[in-house]
A = this chain, B = another copy of it.
Amino acid sequence: MPVNPEQRAEIAALQAGRGETRRAVVPALEEVLFEPLPVLDHGFVRVVDYMGDDAAVVQAARVSYGRGTRRVSEDAGLIRYLMRHWHTTPFEMCEIKLHVKLPIFVARQWIRHRTANVNEYSARYSILDREFYLPAPEHLAAQSAANRQGREAPLSGAEAEAVLAMLRADAMRSHAHYQEMLNQDADGAVIDPDRRGLARELARMTLPLGTYTQWYWKIDLHNFMHFLRLRADPHAQYEIRAYAEVMLDLLARWVPLTHAAFQDYRLGAATLSAPALEVVRRMLDGEAVSQAESGLSKREWRELMAVLGRPADID
């Protein structure tokens, strides 16, 4: 359960609030405001605040281009134009703030995106709950033999069970030791009055990387899309992709025109290298190009054929 009853009550109170504003309001996002959207077994994403909407992107672009944009009559067309030509600054004019609960090893990937603001729960000050990530059976995948950072199909029965048992046992025992070192039980009571308890900032180091942490994370719309492009990608680790997918839905609620352009010009787009473009031009001229004479490596050839929806015959 991602939130406890106390938190649930706090969220309900926030959701009951209503204020009047002259600022842009996005009803579809207001609907889910403060609501924890579940991810993985104990995680969540919830929108805590936002600023701006599709119209704010358009307005910022019109400031830049001045009277020059009067000809582009529609917002959707202008947003598509901005996206297509990588005019990124108007998208920086909107912000979203999320509260995220996530395993530490996911947090470590996530934090590599530097253009964002973060306040993370501090295990120097406070004690971490006994919550850790255990993959569902269908995500307990084998190491890929072909791709060093990839996964293959899920492990089969006995091996999967053994793995889950080890993950659970390590996490449970480490957390029990954590409490014992802190000399404090789950209710915060002192275990042994004759002991002093290890400093929190040290005791945490015995906890596994699958332990859940949480943070507030704020980012502008341009960098939010950049994050999603990298983390909703099939090459991203499943566990961070699960978060990215929930956030993609939030993007669609928040800025539907921008989301549609993002689908066409980023998520569904492909960049072809100079040699790949040359191959496509030859093929369109009716030439039967083979990998061997394409100038592309086998790997690039396969990637190109996948993009073009053609078989990647390699002799």
Bound Cα distance A275, B141 (Å): 34
CB-based contact B209/A99 at 8 Å = no
A201 to B121 CA separation, bound complex (whole angstroms)? 24
Q: List 29 A-B contacts (CB under 8 A).
A: A15-B22, A19-B25, A20-B20, A23-B33, A51-B95, A52-B97, A59-B216, A63-B119, A64-B121, A65-B148, A89-B117, A89-B118, A89-B119, A90-B119, A95-B218, A103-B205, A104-B108, A112-B118, A124-B148, A140-B198, A151-B201, A163-B198, A166-B180, A174-B174, A207-B209, A218-B220, A263-B274, A264-B274, A280-B284
A contact residues vs B (CB 8 Å cutoff): 14-15, 17-25, 30, 33-34, 49-52, 56, 59-61, 63-69, 84, 86, 89-90, 92-93, 95, 97, 99, 103-105, 108, 111-112, 114-115, 117-122, 124-127, 133, 135, 140-144, 148-152, 155-156, 159, 163, 166-167, 169-171, 173-174, 177, 180-182, 195-202, 204-211, 214-216, 218, 220, 230, 237, 263-265, 267-277, 280-281, 283-284, 300, 307-310
Q: Which residue of B lies closest to A200 (CB)?
A: B143
Q: Which of A118, A122, A163, A202: most chain B CB closer than 10 A?
A: A202
Tell me the complex Cα distance, A159–B194, Å: 10
Residue of B nearest to A107 (CB): B108
Query: Quick one: copies of this chain in the complex?
Result: 4
Contact A155 B21 (CB under 8 A): no
The CA of A214 and the CA of B84, in the complex, are separated in Å by 25
Please tell me if the beta carbons of A143 and B206 are within 8 angstroms of each other in the complex.
no
Give chain B residues whose Cβ lies under 8 Å from the Cβ of A300. Answer: 84
Residues of B within 8 A of A21 (CB): 18-21, 23, 25, 30
Contacts of A141 in B (CB 8 A): 198-199, 202
Contact A201 B237 (CB under 8 A): yes
Whether B268 lies near A270 (C-beta < 8 A) is no
Q: In the complex the two chains form, is B68's CB within 8 Å of A277's CB?
A: no
- A221 CB to nearest chain B CB (Å): 10
CA distance A216 to B66 in the complex (A): 12
Q: Which of B144, B182, B196, B215 meets A199, CB within 8 Å?
A: B144
A118 to B92, CA, bound (A): 8
Tell me, in angstroms, the Cα distance from A167 to B205 when the chains sit together: 8
What B residues does A103 contact at CB under 8 A?
A: 205
- In the bound complex, residues from chain B placing their C-beta under 8 Å from that of A105 are 204-205
B143 to A182, Cβ gap below 8 A? yes
Interface contact B65-A56, CB-CB below 8 Å: no
In Å, the complex CA distance between A277 and B155 comes to: 36
Q: Which of B93, B174, B200 meets A117, CB within 8 Å?
A: B93
